Each structure stands twice: as structure tokens, then as C-alpha cells.
Amino acid sequence: MANERVSRREAIALAAATAVTVGLTAQSRGQLVAVPAPKGRLNQSVCRWCYGGMSLEDLCANAARIGLKSVELLSENEWATTKAHGLTCAIANGPGGITEGWNRKENHERLIKESERLLPLVAAAGIPQMIVFSGNRRGLPDPEGLANCAEGLRQITPLAEKLGVTVIMELLNSRVDHGDYQCDRTPWGVELVQKVGSPRFRLLYDIYHMQIMEGDVIRTIQRNKESLAHFHTGGNPGRNEIDETQELNYRRIAEAIAETGFTGYFAHEFIPKKDPMASLARAYELCTV
């Protein structure tokens, strides 16, 4: 992943190229930072981890200038940085991890306790969602993992409902990046949403991951729109820029999502091989529909 930092001059030039009108302002380091007026029907966000060579301050400043509304997948000590730039954090990091999650009952006590601590903080920070993971199978049959996830998640969704925070489980591929991960197919995830039975539990549909596992992205999104609360992008193959180097038509996918009436966040989660902020700006423009 490129580790270049964007200079102030480059950032200003990028803002001029990606936004004509300027709307809201935010305080950052004691100075007013111009934030472009919202464009398009999708609330676009970016995942922090893809830009590890750039400080969170610089990423937020550039994301705001490009026109993004959020920098996401942040921990509690990072949430305030987004606000200083007129942004939100669309997803807070939740308890547990990708390999050790809600599909094993022995994890429930720890995950529930940490969820009960985090959810009030997430709500107080004005963050709409908290991410969770199924965990790896490690020989656990899919129906049993499904039942275990539902049993554990039903113990935190009443609090999530009370606070107005949506808990989202991410769909990840188990073929390339996350071998043995259990929530690796849309039907399994949708059944989990039904079993949990709460308006505050939904899925994060990662387009890159589900292209690897299932394909048929647009039809899957249309058929399961009630269960999907968030989207991630990424070029396939390679998880790099969402441009002509990969196999998905992201502009049409973005249009299809907007056509469903989706009002959540659509986040870029690709690892840039080219200039990071130029690639992010191009992705923003491509998906402004």
C-alpha cells in the first residue's frame, strides 16, 4: 500500500478538482476547513485501515475536501477526530474480531459485556453503527454457528434499540482473504437477521467479498435490501482501485443501490496502488450517482 502523505498544496488542488461549491465548515487545528456541499444520492465514506501510512488527521482533512461524509472503522479514542473535520464515523469498531466472534457460546459473556460498555459510548458520539463478526468455523456446522450468533446478539439488541445504534455483521469471503470465516454468504447472513429479529441488527454487504463468494451482486442487493445496512467497495481481483483494472462496474452498482432508496453509508475499502488521495477522489466521483 502506498504510504505517501498528501501535502496541503496537493489537497487544495484536489479539492478544486473534485468540488465546485463549498458548503459547511468545520474547526480543525484552529482553522476553518472547507467541506464540499453533498453530491449524489449516496452517503460516501472511507475505511481508515486502508490508509495506514497517513495520519487520521490528514485522512479526515482530505476526505472532507473530496466530499466524503465519513471516515469509519475507528476505535473510541479516534471518534473525535472525524467531528473536528465536519465528518462522522459511520461504523465504530465493536467487540471481538474476525476470527473470534459470536458463533461460539464461550465468547458470549465477554462480547456482551464489552458491547454493553461500548454501545452507550457509540450512541453518545452520534455514531450510527457498530461492527461485529461471526468468527471462524473451526469445524462448527453452519446451522449451529447461526443459532449461536443469534442467541448472543439477541442479548445486546434491546440496548441497541434503546440507544438507536445498529449492530452490523460483515459478510466476508472465505476463499481468498478470510479462510474459514462463517458469515461468508448472503443467505446465511439474511437468515441470521431474521433469527435475531431486531430492527437494530443488519448486515454489512462487502461488494468485493461477495463478488468472490457469490457474484450476481446487483440482484442480490435488490432482493435482500431490507437486511443490508452498509456497503463496502473494493476492486476484484486484488482489492485495489475500483477502476478499469478490475471486473466490477461500480458506477452501475452504486446506481442500483441508490435506486433501492438506501439511506445509509457506502464506504470505500480498497487498498490503493496509485496515489492514495487521487484514487479516493476518483472512486468518490465514480460512485456519485
Instruction: Check residue 6 and give its pLDDT.
Output: 38
Query: 8-286, what's its fold?
Result: TIM Barrel (3.20.20)
Instruction: Check residue 37 and give its pLDDT.
Output: 63
CA distance 93 to 116: 14
CA distance 260 to 64: 26
Q: For 43-61, write each residue's pLDDT tens digit.
A: 999 999 999 999 999 999 9
78 phi, psi to nearest 5 deg = -110, -10
3-state secondary structure of 248: coil
Domain ranges of the chain: 8-286
Q: For 230-240, write each residue's pLDDT tens digit.
A: 999 999 999 99
Instruction: Check residue 175 and give its pLDDT.
Output: 97
Q: Which stretches in the chain have pLDDT values below 70?
A: 1-38
Q: For 73-104, write each residue's pLDDT tens digit.
A: 999 999 999 999 999 999 999 999 999 999 99
Q: Which of 200, 190, 185 is nearest to 155 (CA)?
A: 200
- Tally Cβ neighbours within 10 Å of residue 153: 26
